Amino acid sequence: MGALSFFKESIYAEECASRSGYLQSLDARIKVLIIFLMVLCVMLSKDIYAIFSLYLFCLLLSVSSKINILFFLKRTWVFIPLFSLFIALPAIFSIITPGEEIFGFGAAGFRLSITRQGLMSAGIFLIRVLTSVSFVILLTLTTRNTELLQALRIFKVPQLFVMTTGMCYRYIYLFVEIIENTYLAIKSRVGILLPHKKGRYIVAWNIGSLWQRSYYLNHAVYTAMLSRGYTGEPKALHEFKASVLDWLSLLAVLILITLVLYLGDTGI
């Protein structure tokens, strides 16, 4: 059931974020900055080997953060990089990217060839997407969602936005629970098999009912906020403390980025 897997996923992510690994020990703000810089470096780098070395670095970080490597690979290779592969596939052929032929074949009186340049550009695209996605997933796996939201403040995201997003995140669970219970209530009364038309009717009714509940909750929560002194200007408790390890990590990443970009540009 979708709702159940949502809970399982979130519980596992929370569990990963509370392990005593390297990235988990960093200040969330510094961590967000480091990952942002790494993704930027991946975007700017033109050399496939440089990007591949960054990917290896990402895998190293996941191991040092006590994330199961097989789980991490499964999580990062599914969906986005796989779709990117299909998007990048036509680029390897000479009709899209002309160049030095590596392999050619004929099909229906039409000659197609794979070019070195085409293979390289498709490879760069794929590895770039994979590395960027891996870094972002590593960040979400090693940071609690609530800390991640608070860390957004370093990019000058307004506190009101951070607070509203945090509240949405909190109430998603409540609504998922309501949907799950409604589904079970329907199942207990009518069984699983329903005619499609009736099924659609129930889904539509559920959407309407959930909207009504959220509307009521919206008003009730606002009164609860007023009751505790809210006047429209949210204030939050920031407990971030950057340690020597955080600053050293940031410095190391800056050196790595400079090296990767410099070596990639000079073709060493």
Partner 1 sequence: MKNTIFELQDIWYSYLSKFPALCGIDLRIEQGEKIALVGANGTGKTTLLQLLDGLIFPDKGIIKAFGTRLNEEFFNDHVSARSFRSRVGFVFQNPDVQLFCPTVKEDIVFGPLQLGLSRQEAGKRLNDICEQLNIGHLIERSPHQLSVGEKRKVAIATTLAISSEVMILDEPTAGLDPKTTRQIIDIILQANKKGSTIITATHDLHIIEEIADKIYCLGSNRKITRSGSSRELLKDRVFLEENNLVHVHSHAHRDAVHTHEHEHIDHHH
Residues that bind partner 1 (CB under 8 A): 144-146, 149, 166-167, 169-171, 173-174, 177, 217, 220-221, 223-231, 234-239
Nearer Cβ to partner 1 (43/160): 160
Query: Tokens standing for 167?
Result: 């509240």
Smallest gap from residue 26 Cβ to partner 1 (A): 17
Smallest gap from residue 98 Cβ to partner 1 (A): 53
Nearer Cβ to partner 1 (87/224): 224
Smallest gap from residue 212 Cβ to partner 1 (A): 15
86 C-beta neighbours (distance < 10 Å), count: 8
CA dist., res. 49 & res. 242, Å (int): 33
Nearer Cβ to partner 1 (239/267): 239
Smallest gap from residue 70 Cβ to partner 1 (A): 27
CB 9 within 8 A of CB 127: no
Smallest gap from residue 224 Cβ to partner 1 (A): 5
Nearer Cβ to partner 1 (206/214): 214
Nearer Cβ to partner 1 (111/238): 238
Nearer Cβ to partner 1 (204/220): 220
Query: Tokens standing for 213?
Result: 């509940």
Smallest gap from residue 241 Cβ to partner 1 (A): 12
